[in-house]
């Protein structure tokens, strides 16, 4: 099992060029399967569809939700299809497996007025105020993922046109729009604060720590939470919440779903369609509140 897992991960990395994060996710699934097989006294060649179904059932009992089970099922299908294709197994036992339908969980969002309060609360004058304001403005204006913001470099920014080239999931590149407010905050930070953070070992990453190094995702999360707390917002605020708010507010403003899909970097429109459910929920709430027979 271990040798087969290692071989698949090498294949995903070298032949498919899939991201380290995806490789790690597959590895975690296969490690869990290996541990389960050891407990049952099974080896890889003994695995059939019934065994895989029992493994998934156990994972569900362990607390995995439908979305995580769906991902686990996909990993199993990738693994066993590859084994069968390599001739290491006579047949693919994962082929009959049916992925569970993911639960419809509506993304959390902030109201537009709350976003306004959050951004207006940041005073750029104190040290790092310009950086923190630029971070939050960019999250909300461009709908960036946390990893995309951390990886953003100076050479991929076009201030004249108001665009930023980012690399998202699966190493896919897209053009993110930078609005006027975010552009102004970025220019202020880059001209008036970032130079003081640069050291001899600094890279061209846009956002730097006080030591001149690249900002880690954990540090950016801390900044977002701290700024929200200082603004008096009681809701749990995190980077992806601003991305959800970006998409939801675009939809509420009348933006086409296909445009939102492109701006978010979703490969599948079905992923973007969850925001239509958010908008419907909002419409229902407004109707109940204001209609005489709501």
Last residue of a domain, one of 35, 70, 85: 85
What is the CATH number for 80? 1.10.150
Instruction: Tell me, yes or no, whether 46 and 123 share the same domain.
Output: no
Instruction: Tell me, yes or no, whether 118 and 80 share the same domain.
Output: no
266 part of a folded domain: yes
Whether 243 is a known active-site residue: answer: yes
What is the CATH number for 278? 1.10.443.10
Give me the pLDDT at residue 73, please: 92
Selecting among 145, 183, 194, 205, the annotated active-site residue is: 145
State how many domains the chain has: 2
Can you give the residue range of the structural domain that contains 134?
112-289
Instruction: Tell me, yes or no, whether 131 and 218 share the same domain.
Output: yes
Q: What is the rounded distance in angstroms from the CA atom of residue 188 to the CA atom of residue 204?
A: 17
223 part of a folded domain: yes
Whether 10 is a known active-site residue: answer: no
Whether 240 is a known active-site residue: answer: yes
Q: pLDDT tens string for the chain (294 positions)?
A: 888 899 999 998 888 888 888 899 999 999 999 999 999 888 888 888 889 999 998 888 888 888 888 899 999 999 999 998 888 888 899 988 887 766 555 668 888 999 999 999 999 999 999 999 999 999 999 999 999 999 999 998 888 888 888 887 767 788 888 989 999 999 999 999 999 999 999 999 999 999 999 999 999 999 999 999 999 998 999 999 999 999 888 888 888 888 888 888 887 777 777 776 655 665 566 556 665 665
Instruction: Tell me, yes or no, whether 34 and 138 share the same domain.
Output: no
Last residue of a domain, one of 70, 85, 100: 85
Give me the pLDDT at residue 103, please: 58
Last residue of a domain, one of 67, 85, 103: 85
Instruction: Tell me, yes or no, whether 41 and 147 share the same domain.
Output: no
Whether 145 is a known active-site residue: answer: yes
Selecting among 27, 60, 81, 169, the annotated active-site residue is: 169
28 part of a folded domain: yes
Cα Rg of the chain (Å, integer) = 23
Whether 275 is a known active-site residue: answer: yes
Selecting among 227, 243, 244, 249, the annotated active-site residue is: 243
Selecting among 40, 181, 221, 240, the annotated active-site residue is: 240
Instruction: Tell me, yes or no, whether 38 and 152 share the same domain.
Output: no
Whether 287 is a known active-site residue: answer: no
The full DSSP string for 236-276 is ---HHHHHHHHHHHHHHTT--HHHHHHHHT-SSHHHHTHHH
Give me the pLDDT at residue 221, please: 95
Give me the pLDDT at residue 109, please: 86
Closest CA to 47 of 88, 101, 12, 9: 88
Instruction: Tell me, yes or no, whether 65 and 211 share the same domain.
Output: no
Give me the pLDDT at residue 286, please: 53
Give me the pLDDT at residue 31, please: 94
């Amino acid at each position: 099992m271990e040798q087969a897992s290692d071989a698949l991960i090498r294949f995903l990395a070298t032949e498919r060029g899939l991201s380290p994060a995806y490789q790690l996710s597959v590895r975690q699934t296969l490690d869990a399967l290996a541990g389960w097989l050891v407990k049952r006294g099974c080896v890889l060649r003994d695995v059939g569809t019934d065994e895989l179904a029992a493994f998934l059932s156990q994972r569900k009992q362990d607390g995995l939700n439908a979305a995580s089970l769906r991902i686990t099922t996909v990993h199993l299908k990738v693994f066993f299809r590859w084994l069968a294709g390599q001739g290491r197994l006579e047949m693919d036992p994962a082929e009959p497996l049916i992925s569970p339908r993911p639960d419809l969980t509506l993304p959390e969002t902030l109201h537009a007025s709350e976003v306004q309060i959050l951004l207006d609360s940041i005073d750029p004058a104190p040290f790092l105020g310009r950086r923190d304001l630029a971070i939050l403005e960019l999250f909300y204006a461009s709908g960036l993922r946390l990893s995309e913001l951390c990886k953003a470099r100076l050479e991929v920014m076009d201030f004249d046109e108001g665009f930023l080239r980012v690399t998202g999931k699966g190493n896919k590149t897209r053009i993110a729009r930078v609005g006027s407010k975010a552009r102004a905050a970025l220019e202020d930070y880059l001209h008036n604060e970032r130079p003081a953070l640069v050291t001899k070992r600094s890279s061209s990453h846009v956002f730097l720590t006080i030591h001149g190094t690249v900002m880690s995702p954990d540090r950016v999360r801390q900044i977002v939470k701290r700024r929200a707390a200082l603004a008096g917002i009681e809701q749990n605020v995190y980077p992806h919440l601003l991305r959800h708010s970006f998409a939801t507010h675009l939809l509420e403003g009348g933006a086409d779903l296909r445009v939102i899909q492109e701006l978010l970097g979703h490969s599948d429109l079905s992923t973007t369609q969850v925001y239509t459910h958010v908008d419907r929920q909002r419409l229902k709430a407004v109707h109940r509140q204001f209609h005489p027979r709501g």
